[in-house]
Amino acid sequence: MHDINLKKWAIQKSRELNINFKASNSWINRFKNKYRIRSRKITKFINITPAIDKQKTENEIQFVNNSKLLFQNFDHDHILNTDQSGFNYEMYSQRTLSDVGESKTEVSATSLNALTHSYTIQPVISFEGKLVGKLLLCLQETNGKFGPIVEQGLFQPNNIEIVCSSSGKMNKSLIKKFAAEIIKPIINKDFVLMLDSWSGHNKSDIYDDIFQDFKCNLRVIPPGTTYFLQPLDKLVFRQWKYFVKTMYNYVAIEGLNIELRLRNNIIKMHSLIYNQLQSPLFYRMFKNSWQKCGYYEETVETYDSVKNICFNFNIYNCNEINCKEMSFICCSHCRNFLCFHHFFNDYHIHELN
């Protein structure tokens, strides 16, 4: 629960009572002080990530400099970085509004099992700062395969390639499928593919059979340096997870009858998020992720985050005709305000060239 939820409920109540009321920041501060409400850390489940305080070594600097020399020989749309990122089937914000002085802050979850079981996404980002091709989504399935009934009922968006494994993580055979069905369609000449040091995907023989007409120039990031040298780790995945948590939080706080952890809802959610992140409004941010790693000489212009582009707005009604629900998101493509129903349930997707 966050300030925006209290503001929304206050405005809804004022409308019911026919009172002209604006939920200002000063009002919300007075309200929280009066009722001893503070933003508190959720203590039931905490993911502690140790702070990283490490300077680039000479080896890292050499890798960046060699990469910059190599990049000069390729078009920016043929310099690619790809990586995997894991998501729990149920995700929540690590903070919530609650009472002052309580010793334990607990929140309910529709499935405790879903808090620990995970699946994987694998996008591709170009040196231009664009998410390109399809998104690969690897779900966790018993025995590593979809049953015939499950497969028949899968939601199949145009922008996602859906696979599965017993762990919800990628393996070598799925990496080959990824290279053939996602990377190959977006290249038409020699290209650079930047990967981390995971042995499951950084061997040239995986790609030699697939890219016979074009050369795949692998750049393998030194072990232990992906935080500094991998563009997807710099900005993209953090923004992606913010988007996912925002959706989970909204469904939980509003008590919507939607279980985002279910298979088809996971697929639909990531299809919509991927579509939103492909907006030109995010190009500068994703280009900045290359710059932060040192691969750009020039400074990339300032950028707006997912929060600023999609969720940083006053409380408005949904722009759909005859809809009186309050807005959940400002679409990064059409810039319309949409309630959760018209964004998620009605699958607000923009076809891209």
Residue 59 DSSP symbol: H
pLDDT tier for residue 280 given thresholds of 50, 70 and 90: very high
Chain segment 198-253, per-residue pLDDT in tens: 888 878 888 988 998 999 999 999 988 888 899 999 889 999 999 999 999 999 88
Instruction: Tell me the percentage of the chain whose pLDDT exceeds 70.
Output: 89
Please name each of the domains of the chain with its CATH number.
1-35 (no CATH), 36-46+59-312 (3.30.420.10)
Note whether 315 and 324 are within 8 A (CB): no
Place of tokens 């009572």: 17
| Residue 157: burial class (beta carbons within 10 Å; 0-12, 13-18, 19+) | buried
Q: Is the pTM of this model over 0.85?
A: no
Say if residue 49's pLDDT is above 80: no
Identity at 349, one-letter amino acid code = I
| Residue 335: burial class (beta carbons within 10 Å; 0-12, 13-18, 19+) | exposed
